[in-house]
Structure 1
C-alpha cells in the first residue's frame, strides 16, 4: 500500500525498491523501516513509498480507493492568486514593471499552503476551471515549477524562486492584444508572430522589476527548446537557463491538460507519455523524467480502463517503466510492465 513518508510506522516493510529523484537506488524491497532508514529517505527527499499491507488492512478497490484531502484554504488562495495574476498583468501594462510586494500578497500565501500537498495531479484538477485561462495558467505553472525544483533537490530558496519564475513567465502577454490572447481558433501566421514577442516583453518587464536575472531569463527562454527549434533565439541545450528549462516543462504540462490550448481535455497519463516523447528532442530529459517520475505515483488509487475491456485500480507504479503500472482488477493483479498486450485507455480522476 502507498503511504506518505510522514505516515510510515516503525517496523513497516518496503514493498518495492526506492529510488530518488535522480534515479539512484536508496533502499531495497523487503527492508524493515526504522529511524535510520527514514532519515535516509528524508535526505533523499522521498515523499511516497510502497509498504507491505499491515494487519487489518485490505487491498484497495474502487469503493475504498483513497480520496485526496486538501487544505481548505487552498481553493480561496488559488483564486486570490489568479486574481493577483490579473492585477500584475494590468500593472505591467500600465507601468512597465511589477513589484515584489504584489507577488508576496498574491502568490506567496499559496506557496506556503500547497507545499505540504501530496497529490499534485488531483490538486490541480480540483483547482482548475475554464475561466481566466491566461491567469490560471500562470498560477499553475508557478505551482508546478515550485514542485519540479523541489523534486530536483533544489534548496527551499531556489524552489521558491522557481515558483516565482513560473508564476511570472507569461507576464509579457500583457502587451499582446486581447483579441489574440483570447482567440478560440488557431492563430494566423501574423498573429502567431505577434504572440512570439511575449517572451521578450516579459524579459524587459522583469529585468526592470527585479535584481534576479534568472526570473527574467525564465520568461525570455521558456519557449526555447533543446533541439534549437524554439523561440525567440533558437537556443540549444546548455545555452538555455536551468530555471527556464523547469518553467518550460511546467508550461507544457499545464497547456496540455487545458482544453483552451488543445481543443479538449486530454487524458493525464497520455499527456505525461507525450511529454516523455518530447524529452528526447524538445524538453530537458533529466527535468522531464524527474517530473514524470514524481507525477506518476499520484495516479495510485485512480480507476483506469484497459484495452482488455476491464476496469481496475492502479495500486503500484514502476520507477523506470512509468506508464505500465500494476493494476488491480477485482481480486486479480495485472502487471502491465509484464503483460504488454494490455494498455490503459483512460484514467478516471
Structure 2
C-alpha cells in the first residue's frame, strides 16, 4: 500500500501501521508537515543568560542559532552564511560578540544583520545579505521556534502556559544539570509512551510511589477539589488545558501523594522552592506542546524534555533540570539527588520505547487496539494523522 493510502485508511483506535514508525518516506512527511510547520521547543532562556550567549538546534537538515541580543532579547537565525552557505556556529553552544563565518570570515551582528564582508566590491549592499530569521516565541523563559513560513497561531499557548509557569520565574532560574540520550526508536513512540500510564504500574515503581493513580488502581479525583482550593488560594493556576480539534498544547496540575514534597525517590524536597513558591505543596505541573516538548515541575525544580528525531529509527532526547536562581549547589541541592528521580524513571521509559520499536520492526507486527486507559494516545495519533492528511492533501 502506498503512503497516501496508509494515511487515508488509518483506523482510529489502533496503533499505527509499521511504515509510520520505520519508513524513511513517512519520516520525511513527518518532517515536512509537522516538524517544519509546528512550534518546536528549543531550550530555555537560562541556556543563554548573558548577551552574546548562544546555542544551536538542528532539526533534520536545518540548523538554527538562538542567541541573546545586545538588548537582552532572544533572537533566532538560520545557521547558514549568506555568502556560500557554510555553518556559522559549528559548536552546540558558546559566546560570541559577533557571529563569524569560519569559511570566509563574513561577520554578522547578533540581530543577524551583516556587519562586514571582506574583499567585496564597493557597490556591495550588506543590507541585502543578513541571516535568514527564524520565527521565535518566548513563554515565561521557554523558547519555541518554528521553521514554517507562516506558523500556526501561538497565542493560545502563551495565554495558556503563562499563568502556570509564572510562579517558577524560569527567566531567572538556573540550569543545574543536563543530559542527552540517543535512542533507537521512532519519535512518535516516545510521545505515545508519555501520553499513558497503562505501563506505569509494572514499569515505574518509583513514579507510582510518588503519584496517586499512576498505577491505575486508585484515583486522585477524591483529592483534587481540596488540593485545587489550596493551590488557588496560593495564586496557582489549576484550570487544565486539554487537546481539542487541531490544538497542540496541554496543561494539568495534579497532586503528589500525601507527605511527598517533590519528585524524589524518598519524597523529600531536593532544593529550595522555586521563584514565587514558598512551600512544597504545588503538586505537579505537566505541560506538553506537540511535537517535542514536555515539562514536569514541582515546587523545587523543573524538568524539561526536548525530543529531536534524527531518522525514522533514531532520536535525541535532551533533558534539563532547573532550580531557583539563588539555589546554591552543595548547600541547597545536590545534583545527583536532583536528577535521580527522572534518571531512573526516564531510563525505564527509554528502554520501553526502544523495545517497542524493536518489536514493531518484526515481520509479524500488526497494529493492535488501544486500551481505554490509552485514550490520550488515541488523541495524539489522531492529531498526527490529521496533520499528515492536511499536509499531503494540500500538495496533491
TM-score (structure 1 length as normaliser) = 0.24
Higher helix content, 1 or 2: 1
- Larger relative contact order (C-alpha < 8 A, sep ≥ 6)? 2
> Which structure is higher in strand share?
2
Higher Cα radius of gyration: 2
